[in-house]
Amino acid sequence: MDTGALATRGGGATGLDRPVVIAVGGSHKTPARTHLRSCSRITRRGKRSWQLKFDVGIDAKGKRKTRYVTVRGTHQKAQKELTRLLAQADAGTLPDPSS
């Protein structure tokens, strides 16, 4: 999938070229990017409490499905848990949250 082309723009007085990304495909309503793994975040909620936020896919209407999980412990433990949950989401074995 071609997500963009790389062009260069002159750097003005310095003469340096800097990369400029030109988007290909998609629009503001339907982005060309479909890879959701980068849409995850770890937020500190307390002294030893962390909130994990990550996307698990797209629903039938094209909206992102987001999950939130709270982890108590160290930041490293939260990172490991996020990695485990993302792996389960990729494999399709992540259980649905209870209602």
Do 44 and 77 belong to one domain?
A: yes
Q: Around Cβ 42, how many Cβ atoms within 10 Å?
A: 16
What phi and psi, each to the nearest 5 degrees, are found at residue 46?
-155, -165
Residue 22 pLDDT = 47
**Same-domain status, 41 and 85:** yes
Q: For 11-52, what is each residue's pLDDT tens digit?
A: 555 555 555 444 444 545 544 444 444 589 999 999 999 999
- Answer whether residue 91 shows pLDDT above 80: yes
Same structural domain, 43 and 83: yes
27 & 45 share domain: no
Judge if 28 and 41 occupy the same domain: no
Through-space distance between the first and last CA atoms of the chain, rounded to whole angstroms: 37
Q: How confident is the model at residue 86 (pLDDT cuts 50, 70, 90)?
A: very high
Q: Is residue 99 part of a domain?
A: no
> Are 15 and 44 members of one domain?
no
pLDDT at site 99: 53
Condensed to tens digits (0 to 9), the pLDDT of residues 54-78 reads 998 888 999 989 999 999 999 999 9
Q: Which residue is it, tokens 């790389």?
A: 6
Residues 49 and 62 in one domain: yes
Kindly state whether residues 29 and 46 are assigned to the same domain: no
- Domain holding 61, by residue range, is 35-94
